[in-house]
Amino acid sequence: MSQRVIVITGAASGIGHATAELFRDLGDTVFGLDIAPTVPEGVTYLECNVGDRASVEAAIKTAGEAHGRIDVLANVAGVVQFGRFDQITDAEWDRVHTVDLKGPFMTMQAALPYLRACGGNIVNVSSVAGRVPQAYTTAYSAAKGGLTQLTRSLALELSPENIRVNAVCPGTVDTPIVSQVAEMFPPDLDPRVADRLMMMLPGKAISPRELGSSIVYLASAEARMITGCVLAHDGGMS
């Protein structure tokens, strides 16, 4: 049997980049979807805006039709949001939900025929913010909470078709986005929530490669009995 076909969104940096490297090093055929072309060497870059259905469908079709199947879809692309609830604009709310929730919804819909062709599986990157309450992250928390429940619900729906759906829920991952987190906090941060938010700073972070290793495991044959799992990487926050 030929090597697996892997599709990873957000493959140009951070978790997606590290995950693409790990699958590549296993000898898999890896397609890296992103708006930027800086995917790892040996990974096939496909330009894709995960918030645009036409862009998503075109990229997924190219990857799926190249080999007639998609063995693994890893939804890694995401954006973060911090700020007071009463100051969130419609545009900010829509941007976060489009990338963090609607994006995975669209990629999974587009990839489903190719996943069905081989009994493939999906791994979504959610967040601890979708599992436990966090002040000043309402748009982001709502989107990631939605993604967590979408993962669980779809796992039940697709289980009879031998398609597994799981998620990883990191607290802090040492990525360029996280390095800017402190700058997003309100200047008069409530001390009652400061400690929890400080858990998201780089000094408390895990590496993208650590999280990528969990994605690789959940997508592996060794995890064949795992579906609907939400694997926390949060130092016990949840």
Residues marked as catalytic: 126, 140, 144
Hunting for tokens 């890296």 — which residue is that?
32
How far apart, in Å, do the first and last CA atoms of the chain sit? 40
Spatial contact of 168 and 211, defined as CB atoms under 8 Å apart: yes
The dihedrals phi and psi of 116, each to the nearest 5 degrees, come to: -65, -30
Number of H helices, E strands in the chain: 8, 7
Spatial contact of 11 and 17, defined as CB atoms under 8 Å apart: yes
